[in-house]
Amino acid sequence: MKNFPEGHPTVKLGRIGVVLVNLGTPDDLSPKSVRRYLKEFLSDRRVVEIPRLIWWPLLNGIILNTRPKKSAQAYAKVWMKDIDESPLRYYTRQQADKLTKAMPELDVTWAMRYGQPNIADRLTELQAKGCDRIVVLPMYPQYSATTNATVSDAVFDHLKTLRWQPTIRIAHPWYRSSHYIGAITTQLKAHLAQRKTVPQKIMLSFHGLPERFIESGDPYQCHCFVTGRLIAEAIGWSAEDVLVTFQSRFGKAKWIEPYTNATLTTLPEKGVKDILVLTPGFVVDCLETLEEIAMEGKEVFEAAGGEQYDVLPCLNDSDEAMEMIRELVQQELQGWIEK
């Protein structure tokens, strides 16, 4: 920059940064690494709203002494052993790398809400490069306080430590974005076109939430059903044949329904033995899509009498995914950069 007064310290500014933020992942398959990740995740008050006096003894006394080993075994089933990292880390990094090539005028990076690399460090790196305007894109299409809001918390907790804060834009939820729906349905139509049979039902499995979160005002469930309706309309299927369900229930509290596993169990009883499953709430494949849905879900469905069970991969770093991400970022850049 020119025209600094004499003696002014050298500073970099005038650039625009982008941070793609996903949930998080253990660094490796050791129970210690998984425990570290789970402790950070399950200590977030937005994720677990149980009073601390009840939750802390349960978390530190039971959960963190039993669950890490089981979770590590589950991660081992989907771990990309040739590069020694989780699919979520790999594909999130790939998305950032490809976006850098597609939009070289921006400084693009990626972060994890829980684990490494963390949001604060990435924001610091971008600001050091001269980014005084930064777009944060939470990789969650449907808004929830347990996901999107925790990203905002981490961003603004970091900003509170700064004297000179960059201008931040956190992307609006994109559960009904034409770019998102278009990417999903393009992939879906291509799969249906090459499939030997037409599935009797298409199941859209989203991550679940405790029902009390929805009753307290979280819009997540509504966003999921809107996404489901738009996908059904885009492929010309009836709402009765495109099912929205919710997975990953944890604990004894009532979670939003219908449950994915319960639906997989009852469908064969109703004569539905050929289904296609999508997980549109997840942009990249992870433990919940690869182990819980592709592996465990298949076992549940077939044990109940199901015969054909296909799972469509997440968008990952496909051409459809990258075009969607580019358009979402471009949308948030309005007024900052010419299209």
Please count the residues of the chain: 339
Region 192-199 average pLDDT: 96
Buried-state track 164-190, b at ≥16 Cβ within 10 A, e below 16: eebebbbbebbbebebbbbbbbbbbee
Share of the chain above pLDDT 90, in %: 94
Residue 24 has pLDDT above 60, yes or no: yes
- Confidence category of residue 3, pLDDT binned at 50, 70, 90: low
Q: How confident is the model over 78-125, as pLDDT tens digits?
A: 999 999 999 999 999 999 999 999 999 999 999 999 999 999 999 999
Q: Which residue has the tokens 């539905």?
A: 272
Q: From CA 147, how far away is CA 323, in angstroms rounded? A: 23
- Beginning with the edge strand found earlier in the chain, give each strand of the sheet holding 107-114 in spatial order: 107-114, 15-24, 131-138, 167-170
pLDDT score for 18 = 98
Q: From CA 225, how far away is CA 228, in angstroms rounded? A: 5
pLDDT score for 282 = 98
3-state DSSP call for residue 277?
strand
Q: From CA 148, how far away is CA 22, in angstroms rounded? A: 10
Q: How confident is the model over 255-296, as pLDDT tens digits?
A: 999 999 999 999 999 999 999 999 999 999 999 999 999 999
Q: From CA 21, how far away is CA 151, in angstroms rounded? A: 8
What number of CA atoms fall less than 13 Å from residue 38's CA on the CB side?
22
As a whole number, the mean pLDDT across the chain is 96
**CATH number attached to the domain at 178-311:** 3.40.50.1400
Region 17-21 average pLDDT: 98
CA nearest to 17, candidates 142, 145, 105:
105
Q: Position 80: which residue type?
A: M
Cα torsion at 35, 292, 258, 265 (round to 10°)?
A: -130
Q: Which residues pair with 205 in a beta bridge?
A: 245
Tokens of 97: 């790398």
Residue 339 has pLDDT above 70, yes or no: no
Q: From CA 199, how far away is CA 274, in angstroms rounded? A: 5
Q: Which residues pair with 207 in a beta bridge?
A: 247
Q: How confident is the model over 127-148, as pLDDT tens digits?
A: 999 999 999 999 999 999 999 9
Region 66-73 average pLDDT: 95
Find out whether 26 and 145 touch, Cβ atoms under 8 Å. no
Share of the chain above pLDDT 70, in %: 98
pLDDT score for 1 = 47
CA 292, distance to chain mean position in Å, is 15
Q: How confident is the model over 29-54, as pLDDT tens digits?
A: 999 999 999 999 999 999 999 999 99
pLDDT score for 338 = 67
CA 300, distance to chain mean position in Å, is 24
Residue 185 backbone phi and psi in degrees, to 5: -75, -30
- Confidence category of residue 4, pLDDT binned at 50, 70, 90: low
